[in-house]
Structure 1
């Protein structure tokens, strides 16, 4: 009877070690993969201009169809302007900074 219990304990222990050795690499990969590695900037048409969105794993995280930080609501005049500000926002997110776009940012990049 005692031998059966020992065999059962050894069997369960081996099974748990096997599961642990299979799951450990998966958990390590998830810990090494930063969420911001899955972020992607996409420039999008918006009305008679351009906007941008930032996607995280195929889901829209930020959709910005107009120039942020202005008192008026209008799209970016050029695709490049939308890309520049979208890239700035993406960079700030990746560096865990406040990603608010200010009037000073728009002046710096000459966006009106």
Structure 2
């Protein structure tokens, strides 16, 4: 009888581990999509979830002037940072420090 209980316990434990593994793998794929697009003399980005636009950012956030990103890479970098925050249930705001950390160009003429 003890062997049957040990066997049942072992099977149950394995089943729980398998369920947790598959749930973790499913949640690792993002439901968010990003798109970088041209605006005026620069670039902006859009973040969607399930094909619905959640954020549309035509200008670099956290700075006073309404200036678009100088290049697609900068827009994509910040869009990815915002998605990461959303996935981790953190407010998707961007600070000047984060712009500096990510080497975002604030003046396209320089």
Q: CA RMSD in A?
A: 1.6
What is the total number of aligned residue pairs between the two structures?
A: 80
Larger radius of gyration: 1
Correspondent of 2:71 among 69, 78, 91: 78
For structure 1, list consecutive stretches of 5 or more residues without a partner in the other structure.
Answer: 1-31
TM norm structure 1: 0.66
4+ aligned runs moved over 3 Å, structure 1: none
For structure 2, list consecutive stretches of 5 or more residues without a partner in the other structure.
Answer: 1-22
* Cα offsets for 1:54-80 (capped at 9, x unmatched): 011111110001100001001000000
Whichever structure has more helix as a proportion of its residues is 1
Q: Distance in 1 between matches of 2:82 and 2:31?
A: 15
Correspondent of 1:52 among 6, 20, 45: 45
TM norm structure 2: 0.67
